[in-house]
A = this chain, B = another copy of it.
Amino acid sequence: MWFVEKHDGTGFMIRGEKIFEKESMQKIEIYSTSLGKMLVLDGKIQLTEKDEKMYHEMLVHVPMLMHPSPEKILIIGGGDGGALREALKHKPKEVKMVEIDKEVVEACRKFIKIDDGAFDDERVEIIYEDGVEFVKNCKEKFDIIIVDGSDPDAVSKPLISREFYANCEKLCDIFVTQSQSPFLQNEHFEAILKNSNVFKQRRIYLSFVPSYPSGMWSFLIAGENLAIDLETIKKRYEERMIKTFHYNPELHVSSFSLPTWLKELIKKYGLLC
């Protein structure tokens, strides 16, 4: 059978077989496909095994390597465990993961297994709670906050609100969130640019993620100082002995070089480029 995900007059199809389905606060589906296991939430592809590293490595290692010593990490969302797996490569003291839907974690532990044991790591605490409420009430500080949410249509809509960004800004040195496709999902992308102006500095970087709409995926990184220096990043990557499939320090720096049309768009919202 063919799974189909549509966006504004385009669609991505993938051949596969459904191996799990559950109605939780969102509809959870897992397929076995030509790109490996695939997680789908409310009809939207969250990951395939073949390209999830192209997403998770870029989401996590870019902020982690822009910080001199990321010891306390907060992940919001990320129920599949991919972001957690990558964050642990930096040997942090603790990682809190706040996931709204316990059923996603349980389905991924059973059928997807990309966490490589991260869910059971002793430095990890998984909190099943709404991330928006968590940061509103949080008294702790973090070196990095990583937001790994689904499309901001339903469950994840508050994760692109100004209030959420303002609360995160108070709690961390560096903030990163996936920020949708600037090619196909302009409305969401621009809402993120608009609402995130509570941070002092903001940048956009890009990665190829073939199973996401248009394959052109963006990330918003924010903080006090987002200077990018290849030598520093290389040194940290080596010192921390990070091993990656997709990410490398040169790609890190290059992913901040944006097409002209995108530079013009983000400048309107006051981002650096």
CB distance from A270 to the nearest CB of B (A): 20
* Contact A13:B6 (CB < 8 A) given known A54-B259, A259-B251: yes
A24 on interface, CB distance cutoff 8 Å:
no
By a CB distance below 8 angstroms, the chain B residues around A215 are 208, 210, 214-216
Contact with B along A9-47 (1 / 0, CB 8 A): 111111110000000000000000111000000000000
Interface centre among A8, A13, A54 (most CB of B within 10 A): A13
Contact with B along A231-250 (1 / 0, CB 8 A): 00000000000001111101
By a CB distance below 8 angstroms, the chain B residues around A225 are none
By a CB distance below 8 angstroms, the chain B residues around A251 are 257-260
A254 on interface, CB distance cutoff 8 Å:
yes
A206 on interface, CB distance cutoff 8 Å:
yes
Residues of A in contact, count (CB < 8 Å): 41
A198 on interface, CB distance cutoff 8 Å:
no
By a CB distance below 8 angstroms, the chain B residues around A13 are 4, 6, 10-13
A101 on interface, CB distance cutoff 8 Å:
no
By a CB distance below 8 angstroms, the chain B residues around A12 are 10-13
Interface residues in A78-114 (C-beta closer than 8 Å to B): none
CB distance from A69 to the nearest CB of B (A): 24
* Contact A10:B14 (CB < 8 A) given known A248-B259, A258-B251, A259-B246: yes
By a CB distance below 8 angstroms, the chain B residues around A245 are 259-261
By a CB distance below 8 angstroms, the chain B residues around A8 are 34
A138 on interface, CB distance cutoff 8 Å:
no
A253 contacts which of B4, B206, B257 (Cβ < 8 Å)? B257
A129 on interface, CB distance cutoff 8 Å:
no
CB distance from A37 to the nearest CB of B (A): 14
Q: Are B14 and A14 in contact, CB atoms less than 8 angstroms apart?
A: no
CB-based nearest B residue for A252: B257
By a CB distance below 8 angstroms, the chain B residues around A250 are 257
By a CB distance below 8 angstroms, the chain B residues around A9 are 14-16, 33-35
Contact with B along A114-157 (1 / 0, CB 8 A): 00000000000000000000000000000000000000000000
- 10 additional A-B residue pairs with CB within 8 Å, beyond A10-B34, A248-B259, A255-B257: A6-B13, A11-B12, A183-B208, A184-B210, A208-B208, A214-B215, A246-B259, A247-B259, A254-B255, A254-B257
